[in-house]
Structure 1
Amino acid sequence: MIGEMDADMVVGYFGGKSILITGSTGFLGKVLVEKILRVQPDVKKLFLLVRAPDVESAKLRIQTEVTGREIFLVLKEKHGMGFYDFIDEKICPLAGDIMHENFGLDTANLRELSKDIDIMVNIAATTNFSERYDVAFDANVLGAKHVCAFARKCMKLKMLLHVSTAYVAGEQEGLIPEKPFLIGETLKEGTHLDIESELNLIRETRRELKANCSSEKAERRTMKELGLKRARQFGWPNTYVFTKAMGEMLLGHLRGELPVVILRPSIITSILKEPLPGWMEGIRTIDAVVIGYAKQTLPFFLVDLSLIMDVIPGDMVVNAMMVAMAAHSEERAQTIYHVTSSLRNPAPYAILADTGHRYFYDNPPRTGRNGEPARLNKMRFFSTVARLSLYMAVRYRLPLEMLRLVNIALCGVFSRRYDDLSRKYRFIVQLIELYTPYSLFKGWYVRVKME
């Protein structure tokens, strides 16, 4: 079906449609909202669900965090003085949250929406790899459940599109097919996942923390550790991809006859073409490593430069979303799409390392007090955990331990220095642990359907 569609057919599909979008204040959400309004001004209405105490606050958030951003400059130029009237006509703010049943909307609002909505797009999620388990579960698992329940109440719904991540595949190697997760399925042989039991575990842990009068810091640490522990027990590398996989399971299990598309993009990067080439907002997945190198706070990293870096521009993801919605409208089935580049346009990590070094060499960041350019050293790369561990032990852990002993002997003279170096060391260790499943990833995502 996708192969039979052209751009005019896709754009035409959205004419006269009412679309509910969650996660519009995020990077991908902004790109989608702008794209629809720019290419299809005859869209009937975009209902944007945002966290806010009331509609006026929701409207203000949309004005400042969505339509007020640089990505809407092209649309502003197109409409001129009529831009704000156009936005007011097409965008309807909704104050709510996917973490609540019915998004926390009142009965009257719910009844009207259920009559109007043609398409639902769920982008809302927490993407923090090491998020608290309770927070990630609420957003990525219960959020998906509530979106599905709401969609089933919409009388004329033609499509529910859910944005997941290609990395729900965990650390699998070789060709990874576009197949759905069955309820209870895991990535570790001999284990079975009970989502209800995970929710009960979270609630019980919360009760214990409250009973023990735990500090906020201790509670945060405990819930983060619980998420990582549960993810790894079932074969996923971190809390983010684990909870996104559970969200997919619930959607597939509860959708009934709903037409559902689950989109699994890989690492989303800046815009390639439209409307502003190179536009990016916030620190994306691989940006932390690039920034760490630019500031010279990350002198080394764990990555096999010969492996494929699977990245995909944000505007290409949005294009895929729109095509998939149009292609599968009113199909009473679930369809999975990988939106990835590893097979179609493979690029090794060596390209990022080389171009990154050349860029910052020609455009050195000014990090000194007087704005002097930073002196850049080439980042050192380790292709195996064993080599990196040996290097870190000799280069960092041993000197740190010696400094600790000297500090004790001198009654804490070097306490400040020791604490500062320990903090930096822990940051690097944590960063490497979080990124290892991606920097050493040996899978290739099959995208038969998208072709």
Structure 2
Amino acid sequence: MLRTTPKINKIYILIRAKDKGAAFNRLKSEIIESKLFKCLEEMHGEYYKPFILNKLIPVVGNIYEPNLGMDIITSQQIAQQIDLIIDSAANTTFDERYDLALDANVNGPYQLMMFAKKCKNLKLLMHYSTAYANGEREGLILEKPFTMGESITKEKITSISSFTNFPSLHVDNEMDLVSKLKNNITNNIGLEQIMKNLGVERVIDPSIFLYGKGELPAVYCDQNTLMDVIPVDLVVNATMAAIAKHGYLQSPQLNVYHLATTFVNPLAIHQIFDYCYEYFTLFPFVNSKGDKIEVKEMKYFDKISDFSNYIWEVLSKQHKVQDLSEKELLKIHMRFKRKVEFLNNFSKRYEPYGFYRGRFHTGNMRILMEEMSEEERKNFEIDASNINWKDYLIGIHISGVRKHVFEGKKLCI
């Protein structure tokens, strides 16, 4: 936005922080001094910092709270000024407690909508959601919204039996359910697990790097399952295109866009790990002794028991257990057991993605793209069918995440 929209006045950034100083420090470290903004710094030279500090305003707040956690004066000031809200706040922890997940992914957007109603000059509200919020829906998934009270769980159950009565889900009811559960538990013993279990009832990078470290020789999945991977550049460009199209419409509309690849440029799990094998063969990790970590081609299992047995077999081959005392043998077996349990739990967490049967239709995205001029399409690429997966994964994604996300972090089990 700062590169391509010179007339933009201010961008207020809601930041979770204890005070204004901490919020500014996050703005400074995560944005102003980020390598991602080097191109903007080169454009403005010595005027870069004054320019960006004039445009980006950090605001202390919390999306879960009324008024988004802002003080009254700040919230009133912002409500009078803004004409666009972009909501990308969410909790993406796969096995999060249900109460915390509900706060971030349901109560947060609810509070944001309440605040949006106070913004008299608001022309557009954009909300991002992961494709996998579609749960276990199968087949071709169209770009259409749910109506209030609908749920994926209801779809799944009624598809098995049309006579099943499933209650409609509403924010207030779910929040009330969580509140009553908490109140009925006299102490915190067991609360953590209860909430995690409730969350379970109701993504790919860690797997890649465990594989590169030699810690994940196999995966529990259908190797032909399609994964919806999308470069963030395309997400940003599609956001800009949608703002340009819908920002000044006079009549209220609800539009859904799938920026997805399963329909237009499918990528299977086995392809991802084929490219990972190629990458880590060329650019291997180095262990604590300075030796290069050798990776082998990935193995795939559709039964968790077969997966566990294979992991145990690999561990046994890696560690010689001959001529050991009973005590030493017991210690090694306990270590094997912990690794297998960790990888079992890790794999079960990713199971919904490893066996996913949905494909996301992108008709609305296609129309949005066709309405752009040739120059706009060149400057704001949103056509996911143009992605060369080998070039992207080997040349950009894996090396980029390795450098900017996992560098210096311990991933060994």
Q: Report the TM-score range of the alignment, normalised by the length of the smaller protein.
A: 0.7 to 0.9
The equivalent of 2:256 in structure 1 is: 336
The equivalent of 1:228 in structure 2 is: 200
| DSSP 3-state at the match of 1:450 | helix
- Kept in 2, the 8 Å contact 1:102–1:146? The answer is yes
Q: What amino acid does structure 2 have at the position aligned with 1:325?
A: I
* Structure 2: distance between partners of 1:193 and 1:68: 47
Q: What amino acid does structure 1 have at the position aligned with 2:353?
A: Y
> Which of 289, 294, 303 is 1:375 aligned to?
294
| DSSP 3-state at the match of 2:120 | coil
Deviation at 1:415, TM superposition (A): 6.2
Return closer, same or farther for 1:118/1:304 CA change in 2, 3 Å cut-off: same
Q: Does 1:197 align with 2:173?
A: yes
The equivalent of 1:206 in structure 2 is: 182
* Structure 2: distance between partners of 1:47 and 1:213: 38
**1:111-159 per-position Cα deviation (integer Å, ceiling 9, x unaligned):** 2111101100000110111111111111111100011011110011000
The equivalent of 1:349 in structure 2 is: 269
- Kept in 2, the 8 Å contact 1:186–1:192? The answer is no
* Structure 1: distance between partners of 2:4 and 2:308: 52
The equivalent of 1:251 in structure 2 is: none
**1:74-127 per-position Cα deviation (integer Å, ceiling 9, x unaligned):** 111111111110111101110001010001222221221111011000001101
- Kept in 2, the 8 Å contact 1:396–1:425? The answer is yes
* Structure 1: distance between partners of 2:229 and 2:169: 32
Q: Does 1:317 align with 2:235?
A: yes
The equivalent of 1:448 in structure 2 is: 363
Q: What amino acid does structure 1 have at the position aligned with 2:167?
A: H
* Structure 1: distance between partners of 2:348 and 2:274: 23
Q: Does 1:289 align with 2:207?
A: yes
The equivalent of 2:286 in structure 1 is: 366
Q: Does 1:120 align with 2:85?
A: yes
Q: What amino acid does structure 1 have at the position aligned with 2:31?
A: V
- Kept in 1, the 8 Å contact 2:151–2:169? The answer is no
The equivalent of 2:245 in structure 1 is: 327
CA root-mean-square deviation = 2.2
The equivalent of 2:386 in structure 1 is: none
- Kept in 1, the 8 Å contact 2:32–2:49? The answer is no
* Structure 2: distance between partners of 1:223 and 1:419: 29
Q: What amino acid does structure 2 have at the position aligned with 1:199?
A: M
The equivalent of 1:301 in structure 2 is: 219
The equivalent of 1:103 in structure 2 is: 68
Deviation at 1:70, TM superposition (A): 1.3
Return closer, same or farther for 1:436/1:366 CA change in 2, 3 Å cut-off: same
Deviation at 1:42, TM superposition (A): 2.5
| DSSP 3-state at the match of 1:449 | helix
**1:167-196 per-position Cα deviation (integer Å, ceiling 9, x unaligned):** 122222221111111222122323224332
- Kept in 1, the 8 Å contact 2:138–2:357? The answer is yes
* Structure 2: distance between partners of 1:413 and 1:204: 49
Structure 1: segments with no counterpart, 5+ residues: 1-35, 232-284, 401-409
**1:255-289 per-position Cα deviation (integer Å, ceiling 9, x unaligned):** xxxxxxxxxxxxxxxxxxxxxxxxxxxxxx21111
- Kept in 2, the 8 Å contact 1:308–1:347? The answer is yes
Deviation at 1:444, TM superposition (A): 1.4
- Kept in 2, the 8 Å contact 1:55–1:95? The answer is yes
Q: What amino acid does structure 1 have at the position aligned with 2:108?
A: G
Please identify which structure carries the higher strand content.
Answer: 1
**1:45-84 per-position Cα deviation (integer Å, ceiling 9, x unaligned):** 0000001122222111111122221111111111111111
Structure 2: segments with no counterpart, 5+ residues: 159-163, 317-325, 367-413
Q: Quick check: 173-182 or 137-146, which moved more?
A: 173-182
| DSSP 3-state at the match of 2:258 | strand
Percent sequence identity is 33
| TM-score normalized by the length of structure 2 | 0.78
